[in-house]
Amino acid sequence: MDSKDKKKDFTLRILKTFKETIVDGVGFRYSLYFAGCIHKCPGCHNEKSWNPDNGELVSYEMLQEIADEINENSILDGITISGGDPLFNPVDMLKVLKFLKEKTGKNIWLYTGYTLENIKLDKDRSKCLEYIDVLVDGPFIKQLYAPDLEFRGSSNQRIIKKSEFEKYSCGKNMQPQNMYVQ
């Protein structure tokens, strides 16, 4: 069978990977940036990521190579998923999250412009929460930009641990407890 005839594993595209970074969460992280974002936040640091057609098409072969790199690097504390907005394509992102969690066992941080409350209202996006250990939620708001915030760009964005996901539902405006626990 010609490679053109093969069924595509994903419609999701990856823009960039950082094999060791300390700016996308606690500890040394392997960060993956995915294409596609509907939020189009003014002042976004990565406008190229808005277009879902940018980047390289994800495949299970690519994900296995990434998982192998992660497993071979003993310095890594976890994985960070960013973009664009990784939840732009929640059906494919669920497959990515599940695969990486099962193959590496690492904690996963995910950055999204959606709030946790909105994610919970969407049947496809909410399924992704099972594989996310820390969610950084909310759109970047240029007027709330605060360069001194750890792991966030604007003060409306929240860092929410998995153990706190249930505290947030529509109609409740609770603030997360402190920042995070590794």
Domains within the chain, CATH numbers bracketed: 3-167 (3.20.20.70)
What pLDDT was estimated at residue 46? Answer: 83
Mutual angle of helices 60-72 and 90-104, in 10-degree steps: 40
What pLDDT was estimated at residue 171? Answer: 52
CA-closest candidate to residue 124, choices 158, 86, 160: 86
CA-closest candidate to residue 163, choices 84, 107, 105: 107
Three-state SS sequence of 65-115 = HHHHHHHHCCCCCEEEEEECCHHHCHHHHHHHHHHHHHHHCCEEEEECCCC
On the CB side of 162, CA atoms within 13 Å amount to 12
What pLDDT was estimated at residue 81? Answer: 98
What pLDDT was estimated at residue 181? Answer: 38
What pLDDT was estimated at residue 170? Answer: 60
SS3 106: coil
What pLDDT was estimated at residue 10? Answer: 92
Binning the chain into helix, strand and coil, the percentages to the nearest 5 are 35, 20, 45
Task: Name the pTM for this structure.
Answer: 0.87
Low-confidence stretches of the chain (pLDDT beneath 70)? 1-7, 169-182
